[in-house]
Amino acid sequence: MMLKEALSAADCVALQLASDGDRYAELGRKLRSTSFSTALTIARGSSDHACAYAAYLIMARLGRVVASLPMSLVTLNKSPLITRDTLAISISQSGQSPDVVEPIKYFRDGGATTIALVNDIDSPLAHAAEWSIPLRAGKEQSVAATKSFITSLVAGARLVAAWQNDPELLAGLEALPDSLRAAAKEDWSPALEVLAPARNIMVVGRGISFPVALEASLKFKETSALQAEAFSGAEIKHGPMALIEEGYPLVIFATRGPTQASLLQLATEMRGRGARVLLAAPADVADRDLTLPVAATPDLDPIVAIQAFYVMAAQLSAARGMDPDAPRHLSKVTKTN
């Protein structure tokens, strides 16, 4: 089911792109006409990784600093947070978790601009936010989110494109369904030989590719019970380097953009230290181990990168004798306070 749902992502994205265009445009005009002193994201799990991607785009393209809110400040500490001139963005598949819903209510009640990009448009989160827009991923049966994560990334990019009113990004989004279908056909089977017997792994990205590393790390844990840690390529030498030994597996997502050169250099250095590097990079990188698909613009590359990864992740789970549709101790909706 995980694989089937992952492969349906292109159709879900096509549906999303054909829907709610006027709503995004209206929201874009609202954001351009509003002054924000604070911008926050509010999410858990895969949705938090999608928020990290949207936040990176907002900071890189619009120059607004965005922070991830520790929700316990609202739900447990009852901290008197200043809500004036604040933008709060939440992404969720279910829209059910109290620790996501309560902060959105708190900020909306305090006069903030609140946005929910949520798959269940009748959920408590959707009702709590001033602006609620559906992901249009359809019902997701697999515990491990795939199509809802991809549609979350797309919704975040649509939000930024509408806010910035950028024709190039808007055009790149329209090409995504075909890019996703091509990405699903990439052959990442060379990774299985390395990862099927592995006990632990580092997953590395940097900049716009770091949210993909975070998501891949989570999926390794969820679906293959593989101890995985995600690191920025800039952080490896600040302690994690001590873990590197002969044969230690690393997956490096070297998407296009300003951070790519440093990630390619890191791959070379880690190979020199004996690590078993799986370098995921575009076809023009000769020493890649896995081919990263590309989108119409580099800022959208993480969306097609995770599509290629999901296919391999489902295959890896089976190769490790596990069922990706029934991860141990997990359920589809997690409710925390």
Single-letter residue type at 135: L
Under a CB-based contact definition with an 8 Å cutoff, are residues 54 and 91 in contact? yes
Each of the 337 residues of the chain gets a pLDDT tens digit; together they read 888 998 899 999 999 999 999 999 999 999 999 999 999 999 999 999 999 999 999 999 999 999 999 999 999 999 999 999 999 999 999 999 999 999 999 999 999 999 999 999 999 999 999 999 999 999 878 778 899 999 999 999 999 999 999 999 999 999 999 999 999 999 999 999 999 999 999 999 999 999 999 999 999 999 999 999 999 999 987 777 667 888 999 999 999 999 999 999 999 999 999 999 999 999 999 999 999 999 999 999 999 999 999 999 999 999 999 877 666 544 545 566 6
Maximum C-alpha span of the chain? 55
The closest of 146, 196, 180 to 17, measured between CA atoms, is 180
Under a CB-based contact definition with an 8 Å cutoff, are residues 258 and 301 in contact? no
The CATH code belonging to domain 1-165 is 3.40.50.10490
CATH architecture under which domain 184-320 falls: 3-Layer(aba) Sandwich (3.40)
pLDDT for the residue numbered 258: 97
Under a CB-based contact definition with an 8 Å cutoff, are residues 293 and 307 in contact? yes
Burial class (CB in 10 A: 0-12, 13-18, 19+), 307: buried
Classify 89 in phi/psi space as left (phi over 0), alpha (psi -120 to 50) or beta.
beta
Helix/strand/coil for 199: coil
Task: Take residue 270 and report the two structure tokens written for it.
Answer: 């880690």
- CATH 3.40.50.10490 in the chain, residues? 1-165, 184-320
Spatial distance between the Cα atoms of 192 and 316, rounded to a whole number of angstroms: 6
Phi–psi pair at 159, nearest 5 degrees:
-60, -45
pLDDT for the residue numbered 1: 80
Spatial distance between the Cα atoms of 128 and 21, rounded to a whole number of angstroms: 22
pLDDT for the residue numbered 330: 46
Helix/strand/coil for 280: strand
pLDDT for the residue numbered 237: 77
Spatial distance between the Cα atoms of 147 and 180, rounded to a whole number of angstroms: 11
**What count of Cα atoms within 13 Å lies in the side-chain half-sphere of residue 121?**
9
Rg from Cα positions in the chain:
19
What residues are paired with 232 via a beta bridge? 205
pLDDT for the residue numbered 328: 59
